Amino acid sequence: MERVNHPDAQRPQGAAASAPAIELRAINKSFGPVHANRDIDLSVQKGTVHGIVGENGAGKSTLMSILYGFYTADSGDILVNGKTVSISNSSDALSLGIGMVHQHFMLVDNFTVLENVVLGAEGSALLGRSLSKARSELQRLARDYGLEVSPDTLIEDLSVGQQQRVEILKALYRGADILILDEPTGVLTPAEADHLFRVLATLRNEGKTIILITHKLREIMAITDAVSVMRQGRMVATVPTSETSPEALAELMVGRRVLLRVDKDEARPGDVKLAVENLTVADDAGVIRVKGVSFSVRAGEIVGIAGVAGNGQSELLEAIAGMRRPVAGRVIVNGHEVTTHGEAGAAELRQKGLAHVPEDRLRMGLVTNFEAWENSILGYQDEPRYGGGLALDIGASRREFEGRIAQYDIRPANPRLKTANFSGGNQQKIVLAREMERDPDILIVGQPTRGVDIGAIEFIHNQIVKMRDAGKAILLVSVELDEIRSLSDRILVIFDGEIVGEADPASADEGELGLLMAGVHNKEAAQ
Amino acid sequence: MSARVPLPAWVDRILLPVLNVSLAFLIGGIVVLLVGQNPLEAVQIMLYGAFGYGDGFGYTLYYTTNFIFAGLAVSLAYHAGLFNIGAEGQGYIAGLGVILVALWLNGTHWALMMPLMLVAGALFGAFWAFIPGYLQAKRGSHVVITTILFNFIATSLMSYLISRVLKPAGVSADESARIEAVTRVPQLREFIPFFGYSPVNLTFPLAIAALFGVWFLIWRTKFGYAVRALGFNPTAAHYAGISNARLIMITMALSGGLAGLVALNEVAGVQGRLILNFMAGAGFVGIAVAFMGRAHPIGVALAALLFGALYQGGQELAFSMPAITRDMIVTIQALVILFTGAMGEMLRPPLERIFARRAPAVARPAE
């Protein structure tokens, strides 16, 4: 993503004369023994985009929840526009002009855009007046900020990016001058994210103040004017964005030097281990999502599939993993054609030496209500090492997992802790340990570092490279282009269910890949 | 996003249910007061009636037997994410299996017959639950709907069979021929005179064994592992190579089989014949038992005992305090179901607030 133009990059200094939009002084908040926020000071200047970064659990969300009235601080002061205020619920926050766009949208799916915007701010018992007032207000907001959404469309018919736009409109409709966005790009395609940043730039130029919570450093660099870094409940730094770098921020977040690039040697590919021939796959609704795709992955190489989310990657992975029966075509694993796709197909694929790290660990890769050791045998529960016959050998399963806890540095080191209580990175390590330690010939990996801390990302990337160097065939699917470029030995680009191009990561140009991902087949057409 | 801190395990599993039951009794006590009776005296009569003497205790255990089987049936299905409302009908149909085998080999010694009647009852109950399971797995028809409908089908079918087919000539009541004494499941009083004339029989120890069996099945076998994976996250189960459709059908059948054991107690142990509506709501009480017992066998055992005591103690109360009618006993039972089932979570938020302040050892930040 390109840096969004700043018409007045000096604005933070220029506006410093007036009181900050938000000022927090010595905020403390504890949950029992966990000191989530310690003596937090934060000053957000009017008319700026202020980024807040930190690893999961650093206290960002707690801080924003205090600002939005979900929690009350144990001690400390909140100043809005220079005046000390007390915010004990979200209507207090709204009346002070603070609006929040949540990571998970708070919209009624079967209401129209207009109805959602008005919801909770109807004003009178009869809807007619407020709806027509809202309609003209929406048109004004759409015109001023580039937030076009058709007011009469149902939410369920909108894309995720458009739904987010409705969330922003809701906040603006309620008169928000200060917008808090919590991980806004987690659900967006790169194009939608770019559009969001343009909207945010417009909002800032119109004098709105924006607080952007994210863990993506590229976004911070692209859009913010100043950035604050949190680590373990403390505010460790606030710097103008122009005076810092992703590397410096990463180091502040983690507290040690972090390698943002992966060190790896040349690949030494061997025999073809995984071959996909003319594979056509439909989704649950019967829509064809993968259209006659063919490729192969050899031992000792990482083939990366780049693409914007929703272009058939999920269906492709599920078909290769045996979970989804293809409409046509073949999957050949270790020289054997896969025959038992569907119901219990995943079990056969595992026996044939294919391991699968799914795209969505919470939805698919883990049973979050299980204790960690129980998840460490998921998919392999029928193997004799976990007990002969009907019985499950709990002791053997736990002992094996205890070994992996040490090897993969899974924290906390408690095999009996409920999986939901681990952080995203540690949950992902539980999945990776399970799939990698089976010594599979083929590993297919979807979004290996989604929602994972920087420190864990480094570890996960190194594990994947280690698998490659051990001669495994690896298929990597990721929507993070950086990840694809730094890990892959070959890149395939998927668009609308077709492989539209192949690139060498060493020489591939990011712009060119971006165009392929956007479905522009030749460069001339784009210009 | 909320500031909720999970409750300590003992509060969650013990204090909360105890408070719920206490609240139900408190309101029940007010009802008793309203009809001009002394609630403390009523409690005393109920407790004595349920536990105070051999006959009463025997009756309590007899009811408990039914509720354990029905509660386990609902619990097992619940672990697979299936809400089996049909234990009532499954148990009823199982009565047909029990009586057919019993009358076929009538006069054979119980030691041989008990396993046969057990298998027959379990198979008939399993069959009646398998069909909704099949419809759920293969056709996507929701088991909640189909099991309710199957209760109605069972009621009509059994009424027809009992009154038109199984009723011997010359008998006026709608009931089957009688099972001979030697074939019937023996009463515990034959071994333990303490139980007086109460109908608690050898199915009770079988119910205790079933509690252990279901616990082992769910938490100590690979099958149980798969069932729990399916119940918590069907997508993850599919990812793990588990055939969800197959597992749904097997689990429903096992659940129906457990419900079918109610019929062994009622038909072969207590009535000695097949009568109309012998389930008398035991299948529905099983739902309350499973919920109150958190679908765990220990909880199911305690909840079944509570409801057994309520049933037996309530009868004694209606007998001893004429001002308190049968309907009022049912009201009190309904209050317990209401407070432990439907409103079982009502006291959770205040408890969470109290324990978040007092015992915050398990607290985690929002992120």
B235 neighbourhood in chain A, CB within 8 Å: 363-364
Is B233's CB within 8 Å of A381's CB? Answer: no
Query: Total structural domains in chain A?
Result: 1
Instruction: Give mean pLDDT, residues B126-146.
Output: 96
Residue-by-residue DSSP string for A429-449: HHHHHHHHTT--SEEEEESTT
What does the block give as tokens for A274?
């995984």
pLDDT band of A521, cuts 50, 70, 90: low
Is B221's CB within 8 Å of A343's CB? Answer: no
Stretch 45-84 of chain A: residues touching chain B, C-beta under 8 Å? 56-62, 65, 70-71
pLDDT for residue A260: 66
- CA-to-CA distance for B356 and A107, rounded, in angstroms? 30
Instruction: Give mean pLDDT, residues A119-126.
Output: 74
Q: How far is B241 from chain A (nearest CA, A)?
A: 4
Instruction: Give mean pLDDT, residues A224-241.
Output: 92
- CA-to-CA distance for B76 and B67, rounded, in angstroms? 14
What does the block give as tokens for A38?
């310690």
- The residue with tokens 């929703």 is A310
Of A252-261, A302-311, B43-52, B261-270, the one with minimum mean pLDDT is: A252-261
Answer yes or no: is A86 within a domain.
Answer: no
Chain B residue closest in CA terms to A360: B236
Tell which phi-psi region holds residue A150, choosing left (phi > 0), alpha (psi between -120 and 50) or beta: beta
pLDDT of B298 higher than 90: yes
Stretch 235-264 of chain B: residues touching chain A, C-beta under 8 Å? 235-246
Q: How far is B223 from chain A (nearest CA, A)?
A: 7
pLDDT for residue B4: 53
CB of B259 closer than 8 Å to CB of B91: yes
Is ipTM > 0.90 here? no
Question: Measuring CA to CA, which residue among A340, A428, A387, A374 is closest to residue B227?
Answer: A374
- CA-to-CA distance for A226 and A221, rounded, in angstroms? 9
A60 neighbourhood in chain B, CB within 8 Å: 367
pLDDT for residue A259: 66
- CA-to-CA distance for B80 and B232, rounded, in angstroms? 7
- C-alpha dist (Å) from residue B360 to A17, A105, B14, B335: 44, 30, 18, 33
**Higher-confidence residue: A311 or A296?**
A296
Answer yes or no: is A471 within a domain.
Answer: yes
In this structure, the dihedral spanned by the alpha carbons of residues A322, A327, A333 and A335, taken in order and rounded to 10 degrees, is: 140
Q: How far is B216 from chain A (nearest CA, A)?
A: 9
pLDDT for residue B69: 98
pLDDT of A143 higher than 90: no
pLDDT of B361 higher than 50: no
Question: Measuring CA to CA, which residue among B131, B126, B122, B124 is closest to residue B150?
Answer: B131
B363 neighbourhood in chain A, CB within 8 Å: 31-34
pLDDT for residue A284: 86
Mean pLDDT, chain B, whole residue set: 91
A70 neighbourhood in chain B, CB within 8 Å: 1-3
CB of B79 closer than 8 Å to CB of B218: yes
Q: How far is B291 from chain A (nearest CA, A)?
A: 18
Report percent pLDDT > 90 for chain A: 45
Instruction: Give mean pLDDT, residues B216-240.
Output: 96
B225 neighbourhood in chain A, CB within 8 Å: 374, 377, 381, 392
Instruction: Give mean pLDDT, residues A461-477.
Output: 94
Answer yes or no: is A260 within a domain.
Answer: no
Q: Does A384 touch chain B (CB under 8 A)?
A: no
pLDDT for residue A508: 81
In DSSP terms, A78 is beta-bridged to A24, A85
Answer yes or no: is A390 within a domain.
Answer: yes
pLDDT for residue A187: 67
* Planar angle of CA A517, A521, A526, nearest 5 degrees: 90
pLDDT of A212 higher than 90: yes
pLDDT of B123 higher than 50: yes
Q: What is the CB neighbour count within 10 angstroms for residue B62?
A: 25
Of A230-234, A467-471, B151-155, the one with minimum mean pLDDT is: A230-234
At A319-332, the pLDDT tens digits run 999 999 999 999 99
pLDDT of B105 higher than 90: yes
Name which of A28, A30, A31, A438 to mutate to probe chain B: the one with the most chain B Cβ atoms within 10 A of its Cβ: A31
Q: Which of A57, A70, A102 sits opposite B365 (nearest CB)?
A: A57
Instruction: Give mean pLDDT, residues A457-486.
Output: 91
Report percent pLDDT > 70 for chain A: 94
Answer yes or no: is A280 within a domain.
Answer: yes
Task: Provide φ and ψ at B341, rounded to 5°.
Answer: -100, -80
Instruction: Give mean pLDDT, residues B347-364.
Output: 68
Query: What is the C-alpha R_g of chain B?
Result: 22
pLDDT for residue B307: 92
Q: Which of A314-328, A344-358, B109-123 has the highest mean pLDDT?
A: B109-123
pLDDT band of A461, cuts 50, 70, 90: very high
Instruction: Give mean pLDDT, residues A255-282.
Output: 86
Instruction: Give mean pLDDT, residues B303-331.
Output: 90
Chain B residue closest in CA terms to A388: B222
Q: Which amino acid is at A54?
A: G
pLDDT for residue A526: 41
Instruction: Give mean pLDDT, residues B10-38.
Output: 88
CB of A505 closer than 8 Å to CB of A478: no
Is B241's CB within 8 Å of A102's CB? Answer: no
pLDDT band of A17, cuts 50, 70, 90: low
In DSSP terms, A75 is beta-bridged to A28
- C-alpha dist (Å) from residue A228 to A16, A51, A60, A218: 17, 6, 10, 14
Chain A residue closest in CA terms to B358: A32
- C-alpha dist (Å) from residue A110 to A52, A132, A133, A154, A161: 33, 20, 21, 6, 17
Q: Does B354 touch chain A (CB under 8 A)?
A: no
The three-state secondary structure class of B84 is coil
B366 neighbourhood in chain A, CB within 8 Å: 31, 36, 61-62, 65, 71
Q: What is the CB neighbour count within 10 angstroms for residue A466?
A: 12
pLDDT of A59 higher than 90: no
DSSP one-letter code for A410:
-
Q: Does B2 touch chain A (CB under 8 A)?
A: yes
pLDDT of A498 higher than 50: yes
Measured distance between the N- and C-terminal CA atoms of chain B, rounded to whole angstroms = 9
- The residue with tokens 């055939």 is B243
Q: Does B212 touch chain A (CB under 8 A)?
A: no
pLDDT for residue A141: 87
pLDDT for residue A389: 84
The three-state secondary structure class of A76 is strand
Answer yes or no: is A175 within a domain.
Answer: no
Residue-by-residue DSSP string for A165-222: HHHHHHHHHTT-SEEEEESTTTT--HHHHHHHHHHHHHHHHTT-EEEEE-S-HHHHHH
- CA-to-CA distance for A283 and A325, rounded, in angstroms? 10
pLDDT of B216 higher than 90: yes
pLDDT for residue A158: 84
pLDDT of B360 higher than 50: no
Name which of A366, A392, A430, A452 to mutate to probe chain B: the one with the most chain B Cβ atoms within 10 A of its Cβ: A392
A36 neighbourhood in chain B, CB within 8 Å: 365-367
Chain A residue closest in CA terms to B366: A62
Domain that holds residue A433: 272-526
Q: Does A421 touch chain B (CB under 8 A)?
A: yes
- A377: burial class by Cβ within 10 Å (0-12, 13-18, 19+)? buried
pLDDT of B364 higher than 50: no
- CA-to-CA distance for A42 and A435, rounded, in angstroms? 43
**Higher-confidence residue: A481 or B296?**
B296
Answer yes or no: is A165 within a domain.
Answer: no
pLDDT for residue B305: 96
DSSP one-letter code for A326:
-
The enclosing H or E element of A39 equals strand A34-44
Chains A and B: how many Cβ contacts under 8 Å? Answer: 124
At A358-389, the pLDDT tens digits run 998 888 999 999 999 999 999 999 999 998 88
Name which of A180, A343, A351, A423 to mutate to probe chain B: the one with the most chain B Cβ atoms within 10 A of its Cβ: A343
Q: How far is B355 from chain A (nearest CA, A)?
A: 10
Is B367's CB within 8 Å of A60's CB? Answer: yes
Of A213-222, A399-408, B209-218, the one with minimum mean pLDDT is: A213-222
pLDDT for residue A262: 78
A394 neighbourhood in chain B, CB within 8 Å: 220
Instruction: Check which CATH number belongs to the domain holding A431 and give it.
Output: 3.40.50.300
Mean pLDDT, chain A, whole residue set: 86
Q: Which of B220, B236, B365 sits opposite A366 (nearest CB)?
A: B236
Answer yes or no: is A383 within a domain.
Answer: yes
Question: Measuring CA to CA, which residue among A141, A454, A121, A508 is closest to residue A304?
Answer: A508
